[in-house]
Amino acid sequence: MNQVVYSEDHDLSRVNRLDELKEMVRMCSRCGLRAGCSGAVFGEGNPGAAVMLIGEGPGAEEDRMGRPFVGKAGQLLDKILGSVGMERFTDTFIANVVKCRPPGNRVPRTEETERCLPWLYRQIELISPQIIVLLGSTALQNLISPDARITKMRGEWLVSKSGIMIMPTYHPAALLRDTGKKRPVWEDFRKVRDEYQKVNAF
């Protein structure tokens, strides 16, 4: 999570405002995803949030509205946050590994994530969260290790080199397919809530 150079044309370490970064993302066409979607979905929430949630990429509803996690999975995420006393616009900032919708909601390809990840890295640096929740395999494998498995690593705290606490858990969309995953995710978010309360206590 330390890479900030997006390309030979953009040294993102010089971008010091989230709104400036958002405008650059809006104009991005570095991979083929941009041509097949309505527009880039930058992310939303509290720009000074202690907790950052990172998912895979926009779906059809997110692409249509230009906002992350607004479809059925997003509505479930809001309920999960509410169940542990958190709220997306106050307590979190939500983003994705890729900013543009992959066709048919397929998993983004390696060349697509490689083009897009520097935007996310700079978002993380500008927001400076103390906790990151990785929602699903794509986020886990792109930010931790390509060999990481969400089934083995969910619910266990990781720590980045910069000291950010990282909690991998299932993507809300997985809960819609398998309701048995709901309780584990709720338990994971309780851990996040407890850590968040420690952070806010100081």
Between CA 42 and CA 190 the distance in angstroms is 27
Judge whether residue 3 has pLDDT over 80.
no
- E strand segments, the chain: 5-7, 10-11, 44-45, 51-55, 92-96, 131-135, 158-159, 165-169
Pairing mode of beta strands 44-45, 92-96:
antiparallel
> What is the residue type of 64?
R
pLDDT confidence of residue 108: 97
Q: Is the pLDDT of residue 5 over 90?
A: no
| Contact between 49 and 126 (Cβ < 8 Å) | no
pLDDT at residue 168 is higher than 90: yes
* pLDDT of 178 over the 60 cut: yes
**How many other C-beta atoms can be found within 10 angstroms of the C-beta atom of residue 186?**
15
| Strand ranges across the sheet with 51-55 | 44-45, 92-96, 51-55, 131-135, 165-169, 158-159
Residue 160 has pLDDT above 60, yes or no: yes
Banded pLDDT at 202 (limits 50, 70, 90) = low
- Token pair for residue 75? 């509505």
- pLDDT at residue 2 in the model: 38
CATH superfamily placement of domain 14-200: Uracil-DNA glycosylase-like domain (3.40.470.10)
Place of tokens 């697509």: 112
Q: Which residue has the higher pLDDT, 128 or 5?
A: 128
Residues above pLDDT 90, as percent of the chain: 91
In this structure, the number of other CB atoms found within 10 A of the CB of residue 196 comes to: 22
Mean pLDDT for 152-157 is: 97
pLDDT class for 141, splitting at 50, 70, 90?
Answer: very high
Looking at residue 179, what is its pLDDT?
A: 96
Average pLDDT across the chain, whole number: 93
pLDDT tens digits, residue range 91-113? 999 999 999 999 999 999 999 99
**Domain ranges in the chain?**
14-200
Give the mean pLDDT of 49-68.
97
Q: What are phi and psi of 5, to 5 degrees?
A: -85, 110
Residue 47 has pLDDT above 80, yes or no: yes
